[in-house]
Structure 1
Amino acid sequence: MIHLIPPFSSADAQSVVPLSMALVGFLMFWFVFHSESIRRVFHSRMEHDAACLWHIFTTKAWGFVTMAVFPAVVLQYAIGKSPVDLGLVWPAEHNALIWQWTLGLGSIVMLVAALGARKFDPQYPQIQARVWNGSMMALNWLGWALYLAGYEFLFRGVLLFPLVETFGEWPAVAINTVLYSATHVPKGRDEAIGAIPLGFLLCWVTLQTESLWPAILVHILMAWTNTTARFMRHPQMKWKGQ
């Protein structure tokens, strides 16, 4: 007998649920972040710089909800995977060598981000305010931290640990890296290509430490360096008082 819909087992759920929740969570963020209607709401009610700040900050905070909180709740109840099972735990002390690699990787990506910022890119900083101050920069950094914590939970947590159990380490890392690079395609060729080695290394560090924290910290440091350097070199942005 031909089954139009194959039987769905609990073993299938271990990969299908994480993949599905990753897709749903990412798209929930993506469509809100790129919604022109939502952007207009902020700009119709605030002056330009404040609207730029709160539009980006709010949508990044929304990304934390859709890519971390939402998948965490679903995976906990659907397949019994807690946030700890997905890597939300501090690395063990015996992984001191991995921390050295993490610091080294963090230094490298910060240097690459700083060097890359020498080339003007109109999409950065994402907050397109003209006059910045300390509070705006702090909220910019906080927004990136929230967003990237959720982003890493999605990729190096939801899309890694359950798939390792189902497919093995190499297939899981390959799937993860392919999807990670694909999400960077809209940002241009350089970011899509750069996401391949970075995604692989972040998966490797995560699996070695069995923790998301190294990947989260490396990614945040890279984003902070990039956005700050981009601001400093942007010809139409200035610090308050300049």
Structure 2
Amino acid sequence: MINNLYLGFVYHGFAYFILFLISWWAYHTKSLKFFSENRWSKNNKIQFFLLASGILLWGIIPLTKSEMTYSYLLLFGPIIPTYFQVFLVLILGILAFLVGKSQVNKSDFKFHVFQPHPATFTIFTYLLFRILFLISYEIWFRGFFLNDLLLITSLPVGILVNIICYALIHIFAPPKEAWSSLGFGLILCVLVIYLEAVWPAIFIHLSLFMGYEGGFFWKFSKDQMWKTVK
């Protein structure tokens, strides 16, 4: 990301530490998730501050501080992917979507305690910020950070460090989500290294997001429509 590798890791540590602190703050104020099984985020300002910080520190700054050619190659790779590679990413994306959707179906959302819910504008703003956050998330984790790790360590060590950092940022999430981040992080790291591009990780993470959070909003909307009919 930065010509001086040492300064690059100073920035990586700073960006990660700041996001970790904000996540800790959001967790202790019940604002880490925009919604959980029985409530909306207690403080949307903290939730949006977390998302905006991630977009800035993990997306905008790394991209603007890097050469355009380097950023492009990092995101899209040096060569056009084969049909098999595109098919592989598509299949994994569909699986991620289905896993996210299944979690919604298994969850017991207590919609009767979700009132008053945020305004429609707030919900759509959240969805936009969340998408940009996840894109920035993968650009940094599976892009700049992983790439710099592989410059100073072996492949297994670089992947291991990346996965551990990825899992630690999920320490405030429910145990099932925290543990599953280990396997999910490994898959994304291997896929990015195999295709030499970050776009597959972005696509799969967004697919998981659409399955889970998109599934929640669809389920919530149907619940509200049912209440209106009644």
Taking structure 2 as the reference length, what is the TM-score of the superposition?
Answer: 0.73
Q: How does 1:25-44 map to 2 (within 5 A)?
A: 25-27=18-20, 29-30=22-23, 33=26, 36=29
Which of 72, 88, 100 aligns to 1:101? It is 88
Residue of structure 1 equivalent to 2:10: 17
2:37 aligned partner: none
Matched, 1:179 2:165: yes
State the partner residue of 1:42. none
CA distance in 2 between counterparts of 1:120 and 1:91 reads 42
Q: Give the Cα–Cα distance (whole angstroms) in 1 for the partners of residues 15 and 45 of structure 2.
A: 26
Give the superposed CA RMSD: 4.0
Q: CA deviation at 1:97?
A: 2.1
Distance 1:14 1:55 in 2: 29
Equivalent residue, structure 2, for 1:215: 201
Q: Give 5+ residue unaligned stretches, structure 1.
A: 1-9, 40-48
**C-alpha spacing 1:25/1:206, structure 2 compared with 1 (3 Å):** farther
Highest CA radius of gyration, 1 or 2? 1
Question: C-alpha offsets along residues 42-79 of structure 1, whole Å, 9 cap, x if unaligned?
Answer: xxxxxxx9x97676445423320122223445x64xxx
Matches within 5 A, 1:39-58: 56-57=47-48
The equivalent position to 2:215 in structure 1, one of 208, 229, 233, is 229
Give the letter for the 1:98 counterpart: Q
User: Tell me, what secondary structure is at the counterpart of 2:162?
Assistant: helix
Letter in 1 for 2:6: A
- Return the letter of the residue paired with 2:58: M
What CA distance in whole angstroms lies between the structure 1 residues aligned with 2:203 and 2:157? 25
Q: CA deviation at 1:106?
A: 0.6
**One-letter code of the match for 1:230?**
F
Cα distance in structure 1, aligned partners of 2:20 and 2:108: 24
Aligned equivalent of 1:84: 71
TM-fit CA distance, 1:129: 6.7
Give the secondary-structure state (helix, strand or coil) at the position aligned to 1:186: coil
Aligned counterparts of 1:52 and 1:238: Cα–Cα separation in 2: 22
* Overall identity of the aligned pairs, in %: 20
Written as runs of structure 1 = structure 2, the 5 A alignment for 1:99-178 is 99-120=86-107, 130=116, 138-178=124-164
Q: How many residues align?
A: 216
Give the alignment partner of residue 188 of structure 1, picking from 170, 174, 184: 174
State the alpha-carbon separation in 1 of the partners of residues 108 and 62 from structure 2. Answer: 32
Secondary structure of the corresponding residue to residue 105 of structure 2: coil
**How far 1:138 sits from its partner (Å)?**
3.8
Residue 95 of structure 1 deviates from its aligned partner by 3.5
Query: For residues 129 and 88 of structure 1, do their structure 2 counterparts lie closer, same or farther at Cα, with a shift above 3 Å needed?
Result: farther
Amino acid at match of 1:217: F
1:168 positional shift: 2.4
